[in-house]
Every structure is written in structure tokens, then in C-alpha cells.
Structure 1
Amino acid sequence: MIQETIGAMQQAVQERLLHCRTAQDVQAVRVQYLGKKGELTALLKGMKNVPPAERPAFGQLVNAARSALEAKLQERQAEVEEQEMATRLQSETLDITLPSRQPVRGHMHPLHLTRRHMEEAFLRMGFSLVEGPEIETDYFNFQCLNFPPDHPARDMQDSMYLTDSLLLRTHTSPMQARVLQSHKPNEPVKVIVPGKVYRWDYDATHSPVFHQMEGLIVDRHIRFSDLKGMLEDFLREIFGASTKVRFRASYFPFTEPSAEVDISCVMCGGEGCRVCSHTGWLEILGCGMVHPNVLRLNGYDPEQVTGFAFGMGVERIAMLKYGIDDLRLFYENDMRFLTQF
């Protein structure tokens, strides 16, 4: 009777193992027959009901069946694991012939593009490029440029003072004084000064940090007509050969005479539109002949040499060049904006 039961159990295990496809399926068969509550384990637990004389033979049959079943389970376990690995390798195969993912390439910021274009134009005219400190003394930022301590023009620059005598520079003009003082008296000077400047202001057309480009020429027999011709050539290179340029009288403490420079509107070509307030003109920069007081304060003799200076905002140039209507876009790091350039 026990032999028939064990034989039927082995036959059932053999059929079950043929249908096992995963290691979990094989483990389920193991638990059903050899687990703590398995069918073969139940036969061993029932040995107490077998007559004592038959127990040795009964135990041998059950243990032999356990060993046989364990061997079959281990064999099938190895087979399904090998099949699973083969299937996994097939599904996870990498096609090394496919092209790799290309890295995202960076590009220059529109302010950098604009500054580079401006610098290249001036360098071709024979200017040298110099840079200066962004933390400046009141002496260089104002006093050497004909801004005495009580001068009302100081109030127009919304300065950020660090101490009573140190501030974040409000313009690149302090480098005029530094360059002149670093040269021998009356020695010719021809420089541009790009860099960051700082003023306490923030809206669609103003930022607390922005970029300027200063220009200075000092030599014998420098005239306002030289300034006019040079700026006209520069502005037409930046905005196109058809650009019209006009000069309007203005006032700056460090130049005399002084002028504001306008260009024909880049949006409407001078016809009049919302951007230019229907005037056909856009203000672009300030300029003038170097004030005699500035020359004297920095070791030059205005009876021997003359010069001119000009200054412009890089953001202003970039906004007009690329049709940008909000200066804050330059500093928000929005990729939707930056990837357009």
C-alpha cells in the first residue's frame, strides 16, 4: 500500500516539474511535497501508526522517496534557472552598433555674444582692452571724474556703498582715471573698458547689476568730429549699414561738450512705432570731449592734449539687437530664453 502511494506521489511530482517554468514554480512543488506540511512529510509523521515490526521498512521507503524527489527538484531547479538566465540575457542584450546619445552642447549667452561683437569692432579700430576693479573707491568712482562730494549728479546713480569710501562701481568710467594716472603725463591713450557695474535699481529696463563698455581716447589734436565719425562707424557695424545716427546736446560732469547718441529705430527703420514712442529714434549711448578738469585731476595738461570718452550699456545694445523687451530675462537662467541664441 505504501509503495503504491509513494509511486503515485513520485509520478505526480514528475508531471508537475515538467510544467515548471520558473524557480518559484519548482519551489512551490518542493513545499507541497517536502515542506513541513508536505505530503511526503505527512507520511513520515504517520509512522507512529505503523506496526513496530513494519516501521524500519516503512522508514526506508519514505527516505528513499525523499532523496529521489530532492534530486529531481534540484535537477529541474538548475534547468529553469539556466532557462531564465538565457531569456534574461536575450532580453537585455545591448546593441552596441547603435549611435551613442549626443551630449547637449552649450552656447554663448546673448550678453557675451553682444560684448564680443562690440569688442571686436573697437579692437579693429586700434583700441586696447583693459579691465578694472568692481569694488571701487569714491576717489576714482567720483572725485577723479569731476564729481566733488556735494555734486548733485551723484544722486542720479543710486550707489551701493560698502563703507564711507568704498562702493560697488556705478559705471566703468573710474578706469578713465586709473588709465590716465598709470601713464606718463600727456602720453596717448586709446582704450575700451568692458565690465559689470552696480546700481540700486530693478525693473523691466533696469538691473542692480549690468554691463557697460567705456571708451577713452586722449592725444594731441583730438576733435569732436573724430568722436562722431568713430561712433557712426561702430553703430553701423553693430546695427547695419543703413542705421542713421544723430547727436543731441547733453550734460555729463566728466565731458564737455557732451552728447546723447540716438540711432534710427531698429524695429521700424525710423518710421515711428511703439518701441521708439513714434519718434523714429532710440537712445543708445552718451559721449563727449574729456572735461579739462578730468585731464588736470589725472595728471594731463588740457592745453597740450584733448580727448573724448563714451559709454554704453551692453544690455541696451543686446535688447535692441535681438528684440528683447525685458532686461531681467538675461539673468533668470530660463533655458527657453537662452536656447534661442
Structure 2
Amino acid sequence: PDHPAMDAQDTFYLSDDVLLRTQCTALQGRVFESTKPPLRVFTVGRTFRNEAVDRTHNHTFHQVDAFMIDEGVSMAHLKGTLGTFARAMFGPEVKVRFRPDFFPFVEPGVDYAISTPKLFNGKWVELGGAGLIHPNILERYGIDSSRYSGFAFGLGVERIPMMRYGIDDLRYFFENDLRFLRRYASAR
């Protein structure tokens, strides 16, 4: 209930007590309850948001959520993980920027963006949100926050090929145009 995507205006309600998934982070609580650290979890799922559709936003998209919990996990681990990911996806010349942002389950929270001369004329493009998992969240699930810490991040899956291949409109992925889909079917 405290997730920013759970605001009533951002949620598709099918009835008073049934809604479409607005984010994939609900799985994290189940993992916390059933498995103890060290943890490294990566999830992908389809999500639905009641928001205006434009070239960079859609009401339906796929989201990645990942987190790591272990002894001594720090912001340096998070930045290193996201930097390694960005270089693997977009090349060694990519720059990664982190700016303070608010997400209720992490402290500090950041948004992260990339810039590369090959894409979007070097402009910064946001990939997602991230941060260190709040100690209260760890404690809520019986994880000793004096011993363990962790990070979490999320991003929209479709943003990766958009940036990697210079696709300027997210809606293309959902129009079922076989010419478009075949163009990228063998892309690696």
C-alpha cells in the first residue's frame, strides 16, 4: 500500500478489491519470509499503470526488479552493479548518473540514467529507480539490519532495447506490427 505506483490514480481496478499489478516488488516480501540472507533475486513481470500513453510511457510494460542482501552491502555495490549492467548493454563509453529520489522502501533512494554519444544525441535518459533497502523493511521480515544490508533496483524492460537500438517510441512494442518486431527479432 505504500508504493508510489499504488496511488489510486495510477492503478487499474477491475473491482473494488481486485486490481492489476502495478509493480513486481510484492514478490520481495515472499522471498524475505521464505529465504534468509545472503539473497540475490531478479524478477521480471508484466505491469499495468493507469497513466497517459506517450512515446516513453505506456499503461502496460514489463518491469525488472532486483535486490541483493548480504553482509556489508553498500551504495558502492549498487552503483557498481548498475554501471556494469549499463556497460554490458550500451558499451564501454556509457556514463551512468545517480540523482537523489524518493522511494518509500529504500534510503537513500536514487534515480539512475545513462548517457552515451551513440544514443539520443548524448542526452541523459532515465533507466529506473534504486536505493539501499530501508533497515525497517529488513527488520519487518526478521532480517537483522545490524548484520545485513541490501540494495534494490527496478527498470522498465522495454527501455533497454529503446536505448540500445535508438527506438524513439515505446508504443511500437505493443502494436503487434510484425515488420517492427521482426526487425529486432535476432538483435543481440
Q: TM-score, normalised by structure 1?
A: 0.50
Q: Provide closer, same or farther for how the CA distance between residues 307 and 283 of structure 1 changes in structure 2, counting only shifts above 3 A.
A: same
Match of 2:43 in 1: 193
By how many angstroms is 1:232 displaced?
0.4
Q: Deviations over 1:167-194 (max 9, x none)?
A: 221111111112111114xx21101001
Q: Provide closer, same or farther for how the CA distance between residues 168 and 204 of structure 1 changes in structure 2, counting only shifts above 3 A.
A: same
Tell me which protein shows more helix as a share of its residues. 1
Q: Note the 1:217-296 alignment, pairs <5 A.
A: 217-265=68-116, 266-267=118-119, 270=122, 280-296=123-139
Q: Deviations over 1:10-64 (max 9, x none)?
A: xxxxxxxxxxxxxxxxxxxxxxxxxxxxxxxxxxxxxxxxxxxxxxxxxxxxxxx
Contact 1:191 1:217 in 2 (8 A): yes
The 2-side partners of 1:153 and 1:198 are apart by 10
The 2-side partners of 1:260 and 1:308 are apart by 13
By how many angstroms is 1:252 displaced?
0.3
The 1-side partners of 2:132 and 2:102 are apart by 11
Q: Does 1:322 align with 2:173?
A: no
The 2-side partners of 1:327 and 1:229 are apart by 28
Contact 1:197 1:210 in 2 (8 A): yes
Where in structure 1 are there 5+ consecutive unaligned residues? 1-141, 271-279
Identity %: 47
Tell me the SS of whatever aligns to 2:158: helix
The 1-side partners of 2:107 and 2:8 are apart by 19
Tell me the SS of whatever aligns to 1:340: helix
Q: Does 1:203 align with 2:54?
A: yes
The 1-side partners of 2:9 and 2:71 are apart by 32
Contact 1:224 1:288 in 2 (8 A): yes
Decide which structure has the larger Cα Rg and report it.
Answer: 1
Tell me the SS of whatever aligns to 1:317: helix
Q: Provide closer, same or farther for how the CA distance between residues 162 and 230 of structure 1 changes in structure 2, counting only shifts above 3 A.
A: same
Contact 1:239 1:321 in 2 (8 A): yes
The 2-side partners of 1:192 and 1:268 are apart by 28
Give the paired residue count: 182
The 1-side partners of 2:139 and 2:110 are apart by 22
Where in structure 2 are there 5+ consecutive unaligned residues? none
Tell me which protein shows more strand as a share of its residues. 2
Match of 1:94 in 2: none
The 1-side partners of 2:21 and 2:5 are apart by 15
Q: 2:29 aligns with which of 156, 169, 177?
A: 177
Letter in 2 for 1:160: F
Tell me the SS of whatever aligns to 1:252: coil
Q: Does 1:302 align with 2:145?
A: yes
Contact 2:42 2:65 in 1 (8 A): yes
Q: Which has the higher contact order (CA 8 A, sep 6+)?
A: 2
Match of 1:159 in 2: 11
Q: Indicate the RMSD between aligned Cα atoms, in angstroms.
A: 2.0
Letter in 2 for 1:190: R
The 1-side partners of 2:14 and 2:141 are apart by 25
Letter in 2 for 1:267: L
Q: Provide closer, same or farther for how the CA distance between residues 268 and 327 of structure 1 changes in structure 2, counting only shifts above 3 A.
A: closer
